[in-house]
């Protein structure tokens, strides 16, 4: 057997505050991943992981619907037989074989594999995936949390339309910075269900696609709704969405214990072998729970809900500075 990476290519990716050291036998992969090869200095790095990618030459199938499984410290994600990714959480390493078609497909890496990689390995390098959107208002991060179907993505699109910058709409990667927490985004596309077209007529210009979870959805670049794309920001508050009866709009302050429970209940259990990662994740969630957080009960159109959130946050800020 020959070492396929012995004379390979090496480069680094900067992903959500981590550095991913890539090794591959395929020169074109660096170009495919070019959006992530330039990043901040080493001082900004929370942790490092390695990625070894073997690209099989010649015609090969593109990625298929993914299949995930995990036991102990090993997680395997396969996108058809030609595209298999093996994550080793103990050694912070991802080893994969992919077809040339997948190696040349930036959408696959940017919208699927890299978020999955940080999602799976993140907690071992100090960056945890949190099920919430993140928008940026005058440089300050607003986290928008809630169970699936609460309206995070729809409200994110409305908040971007209202002038906020976009970090993420579904999963936000939270790690430590010198001064506290830092929220990162990886996906630059907002996923909206077909009925969102009634609130955002511009979606009619886009096609519905089958999303990673099998749902039919629009996946459109966040800047379609205006606003800028921002890679990271400091989270300063959090709003938990709670869909309610029509015309409802009310904010209720949450205590730290409620916030902690809400975030903890949405994180994937880890095996006891990964106790250090689980502990690091708990520390970040406990720090998140120290942010001012509110439940927002609403039953109105996303644009109206966005206005309600903006005016509420503006009032909170005025009260703090008064």
Partner 1 sequence: MSPETSHVPDLLRRFVATPNSSVFRIGSTYARLKTNDPTLADAIQSATVCQENSDAQTDSDWKLIRDEQAPCGGREVSVLLAAPIGTVLLGPGTVIAVDRERHEVLGFIAPDISGEEFAAIALPLILSLLDSTPNTPLTE
Interface residues with partner 1 (CB under 8 A)? 1-6, 52, 54, 56, 67-76, 78, 80-81, 84, 86, 88, 91, 93, 95-97, 264-271, 278, 281-282
CA–CA dist 111, 260 (Å, integer): 28
Quote the least distance from Cβ 244 to partner 1, whole Å: 20
DSSP string, 146-209: -STTSSHHHHHHHHHHTTPEEEESS-EEEEEETTEEEEE----EEEE-GGGGGT-GGGGGS--E
CA–CA dist 216, 126 (Å, integer): 33
Q: Which CB atom, from 55 or from 135, has the smaller least distance to partner 1?
A: 55
Quote the least distance from Cβ 54 to partner 1, whole Å: 5
CB environment 161-179: b (16+ within 10 A), e (fewer): bbebbbbbbbbbbbbbeee
Quote the least distance from Cβ 145 to partner 1, whole Å: 14
Quote the least distance from Cβ 228 to partner 1, whole Å: 32
How far apart, in Å, are the Cα atoms of 99 and each of 58, 84, 103?
8, 9, 6
Q: Which CB atom, from 70 or from 163, has the smaller least distance to partner 1?
A: 70
Quote the least distance from Cβ 26 to partner 1, whole Å: 13
Q: Which CB atom, from 201 or from 269, has the smaller least distance to partner 1?
A: 269
Quote the least distance from Cβ 289 to partner 1, whole Å: 14
Q: Which CB atom, from 207 or from 213, has the smaller least distance to partner 1?
A: 213
Q: Which CB atom, from 97 or from 206, has the smaller least distance to partner 1?
A: 97
Question: Do 248 and 299 meet the contact criterion of CB atoms below 8 Å apart?
Answer: yes
Question: Do 296 and 309 meet the contact criterion of CB atoms below 8 Å apart?
Answer: yes
Question: Do 183 and 173 meet the contact criterion of CB atoms below 8 Å apart?
Answer: yes
CA–CA dist 207, 265 (Å, integer): 34
Nearest residue to 153 via CA among 318, 304, 302, 316? 302
Q: Which CB atom, from 145 or from 220, has the smaller least distance to partner 1?
A: 145
Bridge partners for 229 per DSSP: 166
Q: Which CB atom, from 246 or from 269, has the smaller least distance to partner 1?
A: 269
Quote the least distance from Cβ 22 to partner 1, whole Å: 13
How far apart, in Å, are the Cα atoms of 107 and each of 38, 209, 282?
18, 13, 32
């Amino acid at each position: 057997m020959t070492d396929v990476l012995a004379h390979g290519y090496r480069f680094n990716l900067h992903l959500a505050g981590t550095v991913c050291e890539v090794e591959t036998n395929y020169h074109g992969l660096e170009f495919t991943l070019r959006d992530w090869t330039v990043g901040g200095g080493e001082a900004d790095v929370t942790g490092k992981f390695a990625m070894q990618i073997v690209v099989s030459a010649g015609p090969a199938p593109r990625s298929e619907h993914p299949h995930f499984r995990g036991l102990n410290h090993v997680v395997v994600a396969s996108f058809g037989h030609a595209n298999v990714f093996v994550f080793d959480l103990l050694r912070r390493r991802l080893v994969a074989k992919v077809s040339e078609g997948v190696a040349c497909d930036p959408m696959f890496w940017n919208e699927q594999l890299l978020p999955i990689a940080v999602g799976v390995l993140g907690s071992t390098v100090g960056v945890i995936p949190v099920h919430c959107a993140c928008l940026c208002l005058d440089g300050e991060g607003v986290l928008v949390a809630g169970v699936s179907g609460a309206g995070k993505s729809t409200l994110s699109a409305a908040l971007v339309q209202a002038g906020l910058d976009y970090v993420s709409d579904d999963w936000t990667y939270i790690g430590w910075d010198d001064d506290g927490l830092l929220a990162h985004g990886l996906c630059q596309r907002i996923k909206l269900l077909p009925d969102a077209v009634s609130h955002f007529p511009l979606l009619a210009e886009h096609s519905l696609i089958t999303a990673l979870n099998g749902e039919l959805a629009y996946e459109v670049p966040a800047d379609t709704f205006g606003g800028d794309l921002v890679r990271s920001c400091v989270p300063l508050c959090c709003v938990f969405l709670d869909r309610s009866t029509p015309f409802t709009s009310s904010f209720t302050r949450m205590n730290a214990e409620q916030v902690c429970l809400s975030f903890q209940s949405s994180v994937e259990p880890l095996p006891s072998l990964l106790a250090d990662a689980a502990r690091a994740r708990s520390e970040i969630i406990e720090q998140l729970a120290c942010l001012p957080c509110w439940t927002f009960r609403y039953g109105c159109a996303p644009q109206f809900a966005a206005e309600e959130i903006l005016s509420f946050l503006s009032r909170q800020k005025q009260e703090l500075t008064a």
